[in-house]
Amino acid sequence: MSTGLPEQWPRLLADIGGSNARFALETAPGVIEDIEVLPCAGHPTLLDAVRAYLDLAGARAVAHAAFGIANPVLGDWVQMTNHHWAFSIEATRRALGLTTLLVINDFTALALALPHLPASELLQIGGGEAEAGAPLALIGPGTGLGVSALIPYPGGHAPLSGEGGHVGFAPFDEREADIWRHAMRRFGHVSAERLLSGSGIPLIYQALCERAGETAAELDPAEVTARGLSGACPRCRETLEVFCGMLGGAAANLALNLGARGGVYLGGGIVPRLRGFFEQSPFRRRFEDKGRMSGYLAAIPVYLIVSSYPALPGVAAHLAAELASARARPRAHPDDGAAGE
């Protein structure tokens, strides 16, 4: 039955973070091509970025599109938390001449992608076998801290869409308490994202320098990371160790909240850059250091997502499901409602 939503290809996909927007065209079911990464700062608005991508891709006609974005999506108006872009979904749809434009949280999209990621794009960090039919947890530091989950039910999965990165940070020991105090003096409320994000890396470094009575150098996240990985700066190395330990604690809290015996997945842009160091870091030790629940957590596998563009299959799956649902709905008859007029 026709619904007015043709099976038109290609479909426009996007994964929009606070720093970069990743665009692609789905040219057939599951076939994702023409991937481009555009810096958000290089474009005044989302609409400008989309049009720039379509020009790069050859400006092929597109009817259906879906975007994952690092932000809550609570209605038509979207104001990004970690970037200045703000837009109306409906106005953007009209401006681009689209039949369909869906916008969801980027980590909801990544959660939807988890069943589609091949084993070759997952690096297991400890634990045993994933339990079939159990929830899957997702957490990942990047420009911000994304959190989601995938809850299995008969015949499918339901993603959770929330803002778990903004829960309050809980220190594990005196060193982390000192870091928390340093951040609290500067910002008041200290969320998990405040420390477990790109901007959190130099903040941890500065707090550790203050704790040691040292003068902190003016280092950005990439510089702290590079000096820590090379061993050129012991305080930067300590920063990375603390960061990984904090992430282990946050991931364990999420696993306990969800009963995520199906596994915990690590996304975001930061941890993949720490490969080699991360596997030997305090992450897994902290993940299991939960007193009476240590044995429970020790069995849970953690998977580092090493895909280059892991959220795009989830965006595509969401768009496909919504279009299929729209086609399955009965069309309104032109005479419907006329009797009451």
Token digits for 45? 């608005």
Q: Which of 143, 136, 75 is nearest to 108 (CA)?
A: 136
**Length of the chain in residues, anyone?**
341
**N- to C-terminal Cα distance for the chain?**
28
Stated as kind and residue range, the H or E segment containing 108 is: helix 106-113
199 is in an annotated binding site: no
What secondary structure does DSSP assign to 54-96, as a single string?
Answer: HHHTT-----EEEEEESS---SSEEE-SSSS-EEEHHHHHHHH
156 is in an annotated binding site: no
How many other C-beta atoms can be found within 10 angstroms of the C-beta atom of residue 116? 15
14 is in an annotated binding site: yes
15 is in an annotated binding site: yes
Rg (CA), the chain: 22
Query: ∠93-99-100 over CA atoms, to 5°?
Result: 70
Q: Which residues are annotated as a binding site?
A: 14-19
Q: Which parts are annotated binding residues for ATP?
A: 14-19
